[in-house]
């Protein structure tokens, strides 16, 4: 296929608001929104395998980098506060019992004919799951492309992950609580995680974080009536670990004791905070200099010698507090945000795949024990952020 992304785009008659409302997904299709594209990107089976192989290799590299951080006490270097270290080390040492449920690699390359390159790894609280798992499947069905398939096994593979999780804990009750901060989008993302848990035989409940009761001596509970409480042996939090560690240190301490006392399994586990920190990409570059999947990354902008680079906060999300520099005195694009108080990492700038309108395309590949699903974000600029559109794919 040609390198221009336009040659891959298939336009179809997109479902409207009422269709998504019936599926409980109206949030993504409000009348004044232009979030869901009426196009799909075509890939080959070989390209999907290239994405998958890249993620497999990157995950192995992340594991080795995490071990390097732990062995050499490099927590401060990548922004991990002291109060998070005990739980990180407990769960890392026992990671067969505290598995990483899922994450999402964001990659450049492949659809422009260039090699895959790591942009970042959303290891802790990755979203865009309803769009990936449900919406693009429905879009492909509506597009009616003869012979087309899709790389989209997120919910199937999550159910398998939950089954393996329960097998690793045969003496635990299969009760799992899903918690969030109250945003509509969070609820919809949690549903994508919760339904496979139910399929795997878990008794699952979803509540806002403020309703959860945490006891270092007894575990994790929700009040269900007057003097009535339900205990949960597993807890999934769509709440970033750095938020808990930095903003809720008392809760961080309680969660450490809950896990230390073997009262609950927390997903994603605390060691994913190492993966989540963009500071780990500097460690990756130190361990694997000039690796074909990596972009040069540093803690200093002075290491780029006049070449373009990107500044990112260690724990930034959705493109907030990202700046693109042509040189130290030449800012190409910049986003404000809520994460500017964290330290920064500096990454070599790379052009993302583009179409004729200069819109960029960033691939998001979900990972459990393997790559399991693929989708894209599209943006008319240099930074993939909260204003990016969602665009699905098909395989021929």
For residue 322, what are its two tokens?
């990202």
Same domain (yes/no): 237, 357: yes
Where is the domain boundary, 328, 348, 368? 348
Question: Quick check: 264 and 277 in contact, CB under 8 A?
Answer: no
Sheet holding 212-215, edge to edge: 212-215, 219-225, 228-232
The answer to whether the bond into 140 is cis (omega within 30° of 0) is no
H or E, element range at 175: strand 175-180
pLDDT computed for residue 26 by the predictor: 94
Of 256, 242, 299, the closest CA to residue 81 belongs to 242
Question: Quick check: 312 and 120 in contact, CB under 8 A?
Answer: yes
Same domain (yes/no): 239, 340: no
Same domain (yes/no): 10, 128: yes
> What single string gives the DSSP state of each residue in 357-394?
T--EEEEEEEESSSEEEEEEEEESSSS--TTPEEEEEE
CA distance 391 to 332: 25
Same domain (yes/no): 129, 174: yes
Q: Mean pLDDT over all residues of the chain?
A: 96
Query: Looking at the DSSP assignment, which residues form a beta bridge with residue 390?
Result: 36, 377
Same domain (yes/no): 267, 191: yes
Residue 290: inside a domain, yes or no? no
pTM for this entry: 0.96
Same domain (yes/no): 239, 310: no
Percentage of the chain lying above the pLDDT 70 cut: 99
CA distance 128 to 370: 18
Structurally, how many domains does the chain consist of? 2
For residue 77, what are its two tokens?
């270097």
Residue 291: inside a domain, yes or no? no
Same domain (yes/no): 383, 316: no
Same domain (yes/no): 118, 252: yes
Lowest mean pLDDT across 28-32, 100-104, 388-392: 28-32
Mean pLDDT, residues 300-307: 93
Residue 288: inside a domain, yes or no? no
CA distances, 83 to each of 3, 79, 234 (Å): 48, 12, 22
Same domain (yes/no): 102, 145: yes
Mean pLDDT, residues 63-69: 98
Alpha helices in the chain (DSSP H): 17-22, 45-71, 85-93, 129-130, 136-143, 154-168, 184-199, 241-247, 249-260, 272-276, 280-287
SS3 205: strand
Pairing state between β 344-348 and 309-313? antiparallel
Q: For residue 180, which phi and psi values (nearest 5 degrees)?
A: -150, 175
Pairing state between β 175-180 and 203-208? parallel
Same domain (yes/no): 253, 174: yes
Residue 287: inside a domain, yes or no? no
Residue 283: inside a domain, yes or no? no
- The model's pLDDT over 236-290, given as tens digits with 9 standing for 90+, comes to 999 999 999 999 999 999 999 999 999 999 999 999 999 999 999 999 999 999 9
- The model's pLDDT over 77-113, given as tens digits with 9 standing for 90+, comes to 999 999 999 999 999 999 999 999 999 999 999 999 9
Same domain (yes/no): 309, 176: no
Mean pLDDT, residues 206-215: 97
Same domain (yes/no): 338, 357: no
Query: Looking at the DSSP assignment, which residues form a beta bridge with residue 297?
Result: 347
DSSP assigned state of 99: -
Where is the domain boundary, 330, 348, 366? 348
Residue with tokens 């769009």: 131
Residue 289: inside a domain, yes or no? no
CA distances, 117 to each of 136, 201, 292, 359 (Å): 24, 38, 7, 18
pLDDT computed for residue 306 by the predictor: 85
For residue 238, give its domain range.
5-278+353-395
**Could you tell me the pLDDT band of residue 3, with boundaries at 50, 70 and 90?**
low
pLDDT computed for residue 130 by the predictor: 98
How many of the other CB atoms lie within 10 Å of CB of 276?
A: 27
């Amino acid at each position: 296929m040609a390198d221009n992304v336009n040659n891959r785009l298939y336009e179809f008659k997109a479902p409207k608001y009422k269709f998504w409302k019936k599926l409980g997904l109206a949030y993504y299709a409000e009348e004044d929104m232009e979030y869901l594209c009426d196009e799909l990107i075509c890939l080959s089976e070989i390209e999907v395998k290239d994405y998958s192989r890249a993620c497999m290799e990157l995950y192995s590299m992340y594991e080795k980098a995490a071990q390097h951080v732990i062995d050499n006490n490099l927590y401060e270097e990548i922004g991990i506060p002291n109060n998070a270290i005990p739980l990180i080390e407990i769960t890392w040492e026992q990671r067969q019992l505290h598995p990483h449920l899922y994450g999402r690699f964001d990659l450049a390359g492949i659809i422009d004919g260039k090699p895959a390159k790591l942009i970042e790894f959303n290891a802790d609280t990755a979203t865009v799951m309803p769009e990936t798992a449900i919406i693009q499947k429905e879009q492909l069905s509506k597009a009616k492309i003869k012979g087309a398939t899709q790389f989209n096994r997120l919910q199937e593979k999550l159910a398998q992950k939950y089954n393996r999780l329960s097998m690793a804990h045969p003496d635990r009750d299969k009760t799992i609580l899903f918690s969030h901060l109250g945003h509509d989008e969070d609820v919809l993302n949690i549903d994508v995680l919760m339904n496979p848990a139910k399929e795997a035989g878990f008794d699952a409940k979803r509540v806002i974080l403020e309703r959860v009761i945490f006891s270092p001596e007894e575990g994790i509970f929700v009040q269900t009536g007057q003097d009535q409480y339900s205990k949960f042996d597993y807890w999934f939090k769509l709440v970033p670990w750095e938020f808990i560690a930095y903003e809720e240190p008392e809760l961080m301490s309680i969660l450490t004791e809950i896990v230390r006392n073997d009262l609950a399994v927390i997903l994603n586990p605390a060691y994913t905070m190492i993966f989540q920190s963009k500071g780990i990409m500097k460690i990756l570059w130190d361990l694997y200099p000039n690796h074909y999947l990596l972009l040069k990354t540093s803690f200093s902008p002075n290491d780029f010698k006049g070449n373009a680079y990107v500044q990112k906060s260690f724990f930034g999300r959705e493109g907030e507090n990202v700046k693109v520099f042509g040189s130290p005195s030449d800012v190409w694009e910049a986003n404000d945000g809520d994460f500017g108080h964290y330290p920064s990492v500096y990454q070599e700038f790379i052009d993302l795949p583009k179409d004729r309108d200069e819109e960029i395309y960033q691939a998001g590949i979900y990972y459990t024990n393997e790559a399991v699903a693929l989708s894209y974000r599209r943006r008319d600029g240099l930074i993939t952020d909260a204003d990016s559109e969602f665009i699905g794919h098909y395989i021929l």
